[in-house]
Amino acid sequence: MPNNNTDSLFQLIKSLTKAEKRYFKIHVNKQIAGEDTKYLKLFDLIDKQKDYDESKILEKEKTIKSQQLSNLKAHLYKQILQNLRNLNSDEDMDLRIRELIDHSTILYNKCLYDQCVRMLEKAKQMAEKYDKNILLLEITEFEKRLVTKFIRTNIEDKVSLLIKASDEINDQIKNISTFSNLTIKLYSFYLKIGFLRNHKDFELVNSFLYSTLPVFQEDKLSFDEKMYLYNSFVGYYFFIQDFERGYEYAKKWVNLFTDNSNFRVPKIEMYIKALNNLLVSQSKLHKYEEFKSTIQKLDSVESLADLKLTENIRLQLFKYSATHRINRYFMLGEFTEGSEIIPEIAESLENFERLLDTHYIIIFYYKFACMYFGNCEYQKAVFWLNKIINMKDVDLRSDIHSFARILNLISHYELGNLDLVDYYIRSTYRFLIKKNDLHLFQKIIMKFVRKLSSITKDQLIDAFVELREQLLPLNEKFYDRRPFIYFDIISWLESKIETRDIQEIIHEKAIKKINNNI
């Protein structure tokens, strides 16, 4: 029998808030009697467990037999979900509309067609108001069924209106589906390889984008169509490292919610995502004043009127808020101050780790490592880099896995672990070959690090100058500049050449870029 914390019922009970548990018990106690009390006892037993253990449940509650447990668990799981639905039905727009459709179905089956029509009209008004196209299509299809139940003199007019509405909704849904399909396909490319690597990647993504996009007039699109269109274009331009164009569409996306503020709560996930993407582009382009303004909007999401902070929304807000707290210090080149917030974020990360996707965990680990590296805390940088290097799934964001190994090499050089450098060079080389990510930048770096042990102190500055001269031209080439997104090696080399702190150099460059955007 299951004896681990992956049990679905255990996870569901542990996800409940105190208010949700109280609501469940109050409502269940009103309904149950006799044998039915077993599943409430089961609820309490599981709720008290730190780790799920069925043998202890059977040992503590003798009225529950082993052969009954599976059915009791299924019954309890269903009851919890039903109670959660009832509890949240007034706050979740989809649930509210769905409830009206469900009630319409009951009235329809009772042949109470007039009442059914009125109920559906309420659902339709809400669906239209909040641009719930999928539900609106379902309501329209329901209305078609109802037309046959009425013999009216104006039935042809009604039929014509329904057909027109149905066609318009279908067109919108088709566009939304196309845009969202494009977005997740682009995201799957990004998860695998990170930013664009070469012309082959560009041809693949570019041909996919323009062969997929339907013909459209942007000003005639519905709110949802625009929202998903902007999402697609932001993903595309970020992927090909065109952050200026990505910024334009991220701004359109946020402005869409600014102009239609009534959609913020009903479409809260997409609103938060829009803010996140705008922040990403603003940080990449060093638009610091705009970045601060957008951060305020993200921070104020929790206080939006009528917003219910679900675990899903809390997770999303933590993920993006923490990311951009870190990005702020990267923008300013303030690694000492940035390093001070890492322990707090790392502790919060542990609380959310079971809910976070591996992709974002990798991103956090790499940001932690880069922050510590910028503050010359190389041992701490290595700690977080090793967490990435030792992960089993190296196909997810293989780009970060690659650059984590490059940064690890340089960190060990800074720590004076020259005896380990040769080993890490060989393992990094094998990894890059396997992942088809061994490009000129990586070859130059590994060749340089390999010969460091044979270079005298008198030759060291010249060696750093030579490496810098080799790398600078790469930063001017579209595909070769990709590595500089992951690690500012030029500033590190300049810190060695000028015998200055890397933080000081990056800070000076950051302030100059920020001032150019004022």
pLDDT digit string, tens, across residues 463-511? 889 888 988 888 887 777 777 788 888 999 999 899 999 999 999 999 9
Length of the chain: 518
pLDDT for residue 33 is more than 60: no
Split at pLDDT 50, 70, 90, the class of 322 is: very high
Predicted confidence at residue 214, as pLDDT, reads: 85
- Residue carrying the six token digits 């469940």: 24
Mean pLDDT throughout 312-337? 95
State percent of the chain over pLDDT 90.
44
- Residue carrying the six token digits 């060079």: 425
pLDDT for residue 436 is more than 70: no
Rounded-to-integer distance, Cα 494 and Cα 81, Å: 59
Predicted confidence at residue 423, as pLDDT, reads: 79
Predicted confidence at residue 257, as pLDDT, reads: 97
Mean pLDDT throughout 407-413? 89
Mean pLDDT throughout 60-76? 88
Which residue did the predictor score with more confidence, 226 or 189? 226
Rounded-to-integer distance, Cα 195 and Cα 177, Å: 25
Predicted confidence at residue 202, as pLDDT, reads: 82
Which residue did the predictor score with more confidence, 113 or 32? 113
DSSP 227-248: HHHHHHHHHHHHHTT-HHHHHH
Mean pLDDT throughout 6-24? 89
pLDDT for residue 3 is more than 80: no
Rounded-to-integer distance, Cα 123 and Cα 480, Å: 54
- Residue carrying the six token digits 């609103």: 271
Which residue did the predictor score with more confidence, 440 or 73? 73
Rounded-to-integer distance, Cα 199 and Cα 15, Å: 46
Predicted confidence at residue 275, as pLDDT, reads: 98
Whether 248 and 208 have beta carbons less than 8 Å apart is answered as no
Rounded to a whole number, what is the distance in angstroms from the first to the last CA of the chain?
64
Whether 83 and 26 have beta carbons less than 8 Å apart is answered as no
The DSSP symbol for 215 reads P
Work out the number of other CB atoms within 10 angstroms of the CB of residue 253. Answer: 25
pLDDT for residue 72 is more than 50: yes
Mean pLDDT of the chain: 87
Summarize pLDDT for 135-179 with one digit per residue, the tens.
999 999 999 888 877 656 667 777 888 888 888 888 899 999 998
Predicted confidence at residue 187, as pLDDT, reads: 82
Split at pLDDT 50, 70, 90, the class of 396 is: low
State percent of the chain over pLDDT 70.
94
Predicted confidence at residue 437, as pLDDT, reads: 63
pLDDT for residue 233 is more than 60: yes
Predicted confidence at residue 325, as pLDDT, reads: 96
pLDDT for residue 34 is more than 90: no
Rounded-to-integer distance, Cα 148 and Cα 136, Å: 19
Whether 63 and 38 have beta carbons less than 8 Å apart is answered as yes
pTM of the predicted protein model: 0.82
Split at pLDDT 50, 70, 90, the class of 2 is: very low
DSSP 361-393: HHHHHHHHHHHHHHTT-HHHHHHHHHHHHT-S-
Split at pLDDT 50, 70, 90, the class of 1 is: very low
The DSSP symbol for 310 reads -
pLDDT for residue 403 is more than 90: no
pLDDT for residue 31 is more than 70: no
Predicted confidence at residue 494, as pLDDT, reads: 92
Q: Is residue 482 classed as helix, strand or coil in its secondary structure?
A: coil
